[in-house]
Amino acid sequence: MGKIVIRVPATSANLGPGFDSLGVALHLYLTVIVEEKTERWRVNHALGPDVPTDEQNLIVQSALKVNPNLQPHQLTVMSDIPVARGLGSSSTAVVAGVKIANELGEMDLTLADQVTAAAKIEGHPDNVAPALLGDVVVADYDGETATTVKLAMPEGLKMLAFIKNQPLLTSESRNVLSKELPRKQAIIGSSVANVMIAALATNNWQLVTHMMERDQFHETARTKLVPELPMIRETAHQFGIYGTYLSGAGPTIGTFGTEPQLIVLRQKLMDLDVKGSLRIFDIDRQGATVNAE
């Protein structure tokens, strides 16, 4: 067998009120090349000393959870995705592992099976589902099975990502969330999310962007960790741009718009000297790919 090249897109989750269930795939990739069989798993990468180079690597761990009988191989890993920034870096590793297990184990898993396998490892489906399917995906995971609906973001839409210089671990960001929500707030949060998804499904993008900014589940609590969120949102509103939200657990902040809109917004934020990088991403429409060489 020759090499297998697996490419998995970064993802941005929640999109406001779609907490733990909504995500979009972005043009920013983890690439894993599966090379020759080896005595032990070897993972070549230039991602720094914190990322294991043996079977402790999350990609290998994920592959072995799906299929414990895999023969070890050498992997070469390249990634454009910043770690612990709310762009699904760990989810891409999990998805790559699922794809490796499926290929090397000749398992013939359907895409639905792959989403469920990845959600089992990750614990929630909001990043792994769009990483596998592409575009924007609504997903549910009940602890046993993941259920997904793939929708389409409007053509010509891009995302401006404000990526903070400091990482923010999901575990730390989860700790600021309250364990319970008052029933009234939960109903409002649920109805906002329902309307946003319905608007997305019926191509009412203007309504989507307004609902996107009315989250009740997590953004208010997390703003103390990412105080730039209201500032970027208000700056975008000055240009008539709606659709700013906290990506995943943060600290990345996403704003959807057309390229001309986002170029203007990016320049204004640069003038305000925000501390982080500002990058415009296309939406990935196809999700993870596997190619044999």
How far is Cα 174 from Cα 168, in angstroms, rounded to an integer?
10
What's the half-sphere exposure (Cβ side, CA atoms, 13 Å) at 174? Answer: 6
Residue 211, number of CB atoms within 10 A of its CB: 26
Report the pLDDT value the prediction gives residue 293, as an integer from 0 to 100.
80
Radius of gyration of the chain (CA): 19
How far is Cα 17 from Cα 148, in angstroms, rounded to an integer?
17
Q: What CATH superfamily classification does 158-281 receive? A: GHMP kinase, C-terminal domain (3.30.70.890)
How far is Cα 130 from Cα 234, in angstroms, rounded to an integer?
28
Q: Which residue has the tokens 């946003």?
A: 196
Per DSSP, the three-state class of 96 is helix
Q: Which residues are annotated as a binding site for ATP?
A: 82-92
Tokens coding 202:
């019926």
How far is Cα 11 from Cα 283, in angstroms, rounded to an integer?
9
Domain ranges across the chain: 4-151+284-292, 158-281
How far is Cα 269 from Cα 120, in angstroms, rounded to an integer?
39
One-letter amino acid of 15? L
Instruction: Give just the sign of the alpha carbon dihedral 97, 28, 135, 197.
Output: positive
Report the pLDDT value the prediction gives residue 175, as an integer from 0 to 100.
77
Tokens coding 57:
């690597």
Q: Which residues are annotated as a binding site?
A: 82-92
List the chain pLDDT tens, one digit each, 293 residues: 689 999 999 999 999 999 889 999 999 999 999 999 999 999 999 988 989 999 999 999 999 999 999 999 999 999 999 876 778 889 999 999 999 999 999 999 999 999 999 999 999 999 999 999 999 999 999 999 999 999 999 999 999 999 987 766 666 766 778 888 899 999 999 999 999 999 999 999 999 999 999 999 888 888 888 889 999 999 999 999 999 999 877 789 999 999 999 999 999 999 999 989 999 999 999 999 999 88
Residue 26, number of CB atoms within 10 A of its CB: 26
**Helices 111-122 and 58-66, axial angle in degrees (round to 10):** 120
Tokens coding 172:
């730390």
Tokens coding 39:
């005595």
Q: Which residue has the tokens 């794809």?
A: 99
Report the pLDDT value the prediction gives residue 1, as an integer from 0 to 100.
60
Distances (CA, A) of 30 to 11, 75, 94, 230, 246: 11, 12, 11, 30, 22
Give the CATH number of domain 4-151+284-292: 3.30.230.10
How far is Cα 184 from Cα 69, in angstroms, rounded to an integer?
49
